[in-house]
Amino acid sequence: MLIQIAETAIITTILVLWISLAYKELNRLKKAVENAEQQFQMHEELIFKARSDPMVERQAISMFEISCKIYNENVRKYNEAVRRLYFYPIAMVLGYRIKKEITKGI
């Protein structure tokens, strides 16, 4: 009886640690994507505000392109984590879904 209780406790502990680790990693990557998305949107708005000055507009476009690259890199890392065999079941239960990369340009 005590052996069964100990086995159950060990399995429960492993499951809790697995879920906790997956949640922390997926949440960290999701926040990185959200932050990159905010930067991307901010630079996209700056391009339209800078239309009157060609030099500022070129700089804004350059910053926008860099933001796109950063966003896409973060999305790739996030998607890789969601697809990992040991994160996938937890990701699906907790509502983490695959995100699309940015393909549009200016």
C-alpha span between 104 and 106 (Å, rounded): 7
Across the range 72-94, mean pLDDT stands at 95
Across the range 50-78, mean pLDDT stands at 91
What tokens appear for 49 in the block?
Answer: 């505000």
Burial class (CB in 10 A: 0-12, 13-18, 19+), 80: exposed
Residue-level pLDDT at 4: 87
- Dihedral sign (CA 71, 74, 80, 86): negative
The residue extents of the domains of the chain are: 2-94
pLDDT at 53 over 60: yes
Give this prediction's pTM. Answer: 0.83
